[in-house]
Amino acid sequence: MTLPPNAGTPRLPLVDYLRGLASLAVAWFHLTNTYPQASLVRQSGSYLWAGVEVFFVISGFIIPWSMGAATSAGFSQFLSRRLLRIELPYVVSIIAVIVLDYASSLAPAFRGPQPRVDPYNILLNVFYLVPILKGRWIQPVYWTLAYEFVFYVFIALAFVPIVSNPKRWPFLALALGLGVLAAAGAISAYFLLFVLGCAAYRRAVGRSDVAEWAATMGVAVAVMALRNAWLESVVGGVTALILTSCASTRLSGRAGAILTWFGTISYSLYLAHVPLADRVVNLGKRFVSGEAADLLLSLTALALCLVGAWLFHRLVEAPAQRLARSLKRGDGKVGFARAAA
């Protein structure tokens, strides 16, 4: 299977399926991780945080694929569109979390610390500077977006000379260099998940041979395992293998439609599930207890999170996507789809 390496190609359904499943996994992890350690409900989600690894590999694959055969003429447009469709919902979610915190503090049964607005820390969140300047993430899932942002900048700089280069040595050198840095602890092993996604992209579009793909996969998986990131290495390797071998897979019927819907709202679910789930689960735990009640409470919270994510997608994410797409037509520059054609 070889995919055409350009942005004019129709949307890849498998990517939506994987995104949807990954977002559900992360949501269920957060919906169940406040129960006692021995709880079967908690154990059902104890390893599902690894859905984050799936997102990182998908980004490593889909961003180069969407850029296709573009040259440097389209880089500013790509970054503008990508940041707009990601950043606008992100900023709105930050505002929503702050508003919800204050609204919750007004409830008679509120037991937590009084919320306060810290403009400096909000700015650190908006510009992904929390790890560098020792700030505090306003909600726990935001840390992953900092990695995504670094990757977007990297791919804009490295796409033409390295990632899309049909020669073997530039990408192998990159993979080996990042592998050495990760093994030494100089950078996070999470960056190797993006390498896995890029390796899957190169193989899927015919930019690499089996030897390069296997070497890159082997280095990334081995270094993550060396850093004791066993689950990350397995999940990342399997995700990259799926994307390499069957990225054009499309499911027919209701199953495909349902998975596509989950994929469509996956980013909104990722942003919205923690502030919604925390309130539902924390309130419910005051009135019910036991395994069956905990399971029902978490399922109820998940259903409410899906409704909230759907509304957030309709009201915030989808308009941001439309605005981002309009940039391709507005200034006469060469867009990626046009460059690929």
Q: Is residue 111 part of a domain?
A: yes
Q: Is residue 3 part of a domain?
A: no
pLDDT of residue 123: 96
Q: Is residue 214 part of a domain?
A: yes
Task: Residue 321: name the closest of 17, 87, 2 by CA.
Answer: 87
pLDDT of residue 2: 61
Q: Is residue 6 part of a domain?
A: no
pLDDT of residue 217: 96
CA-to-CA distance for 144 and 121, rounded, in angstroms?
17
CB-CB neighbours of 254 under 10 Å:
8
DSSP 184: T
- 266 and 62 in contact (C-beta within 8 Å)? no
CA-to-CA distance for 52 and 58, rounded, in angstroms?
10
pLDDT of residue 5: 55
Q: How many domains does the chain have?
A: 1
Give, for all 341 residues of the chain, the pLDDT tens digit: 566 555 444 578 999 999 999 999 999 999 999 899 999 999 999 999 999 999 999 999 999 988 864 544 466 777 778 788 899 999 999 999 999 988 887 877 666 677 788 999 999 999 999 999 999 999 999 999 999 999 988 888 888 889 988 898 999 999 999 999 999 999 999 999 999 999 999 999 999 999 999 999 999 999 999 998 999 999 999 999 999 988 778 888 899 999 999 999 999 999 999 999 888 888 888 888 889 999 999 999 999 999 999 999 999 999 999 998 887 654 434 333 333 32
Q: Is residue 113 part of a domain?
A: yes
pLDDT of residue 325: 83
Task: Residue 247: name the closest of 18, 8, 7, 6 by CA.
Answer: 18
Q: Is residue 7 part of a domain?
A: no
Domain that holds residue 55: 13-336
The pTM score is 0.90
Q: Is residue 4 part of a domain?
A: no
Q: Is residue 58 part of a domain?
A: yes
- 53 and 232 in contact (C-beta within 8 Å)? yes
CA-to-CA distance for 8 and 339, rounded, in angstroms?
10
CA-to-CA distance for 44 and 25, rounded, in angstroms?
10
